[in-house]
Chains A and B, each alone.
Chain A
Amino acid sequence: QQQVKQSPQSLIVQKGGIPIINCAYENTAFDYFPWYQQFPGKGPALLIAIRPDVSEKKEGRFTISFNKSAKQFSLHIMDSQPGDSATYFCAASIGRGGGSNYKLTFGKGTLLTVNP
Chain B
Amino acid sequence: NAGVMQNPRHLVRRRGQEARLRCSPMKGHSHVYWYRQLPEEGLKFMVYLQKENIIDESGMPKERFSAEFPKEGPSILRIQQVVRGDSAAYFCASSPSVNWDQPQHFGDGTRLSIL
Q: Which A residues are closer than 8 A to B by beta carbons?
A: 4, 6, 31-32, 34, 36, 41-46, 49, 51, 89, 91, 95-109
Q: Which residues does chain A contribute within 8 Å of B97, judged by CB atoms?
A: 99, 101
Given A43-B107, A104-B104 in contact, is the A99-B42 Cβ separation under 8 Å?
A: no
Question: What number of A-B contacts does a CB cutoff of 8 Å give?
Answer: 78
Those of B47-96 within 8 Å (CB) of chain A: 48, 56, 58-59, 91, 93, 95
Report the separation of the CA atoms of residues A32 and B103 in the bound assembly, to the nearest whole angstrom: 10
B95 & A101 in contact (Cβ 8 Å cutoff):
yes
B103 & A101 in contact (Cβ 8 Å cutoff):
yes
B48 & A102 in contact (Cβ 8 Å cutoff):
yes
A44 & B43 in contact (Cβ 8 Å cutoff):
yes
Report the separation of the CA atoms of residues A42 and B41 in the bound assembly, to the nearest whole angstrom: 15
A43 & B98 in contact (Cβ 8 Å cutoff):
no
Q: Which residues does chain B contribute within 8 Å of A96, judged by CB atoms?
A: 98
Q: How far is the CB of B48 from chain A (nearest CB, A)?
A: 6
Known: A44-B43, A101-B98. 13 other contacts (CB 8 A): A31-B100, A42-B108, A43-B109, A49-B100, A99-B97, A99-B99, A101-B99, A101-B104, A103-B45, A103-B48, A103-B56, A104-B43, A108-B42
Q: Which B residues are closer than 8 A to A by beta carbons?
A: 4, 31, 33, 35, 40-45, 48, 56, 58-59, 91, 93, 95, 97-100, 102-109
Residue from the list B44, B98, B105 in contact with A99, Cβ < 8 A = B98
Given A32-B100, A49-B103, A102-B33 in contact, is the A109-B42 Cβ separation under 8 Å?
A: yes
Residue from the list B31, B42, B109 in contact with A102, Cβ < 8 A = B31
Q: Which residues does chain B contribute within 8 Å of A109, judged by CB atoms?
A: 40-42
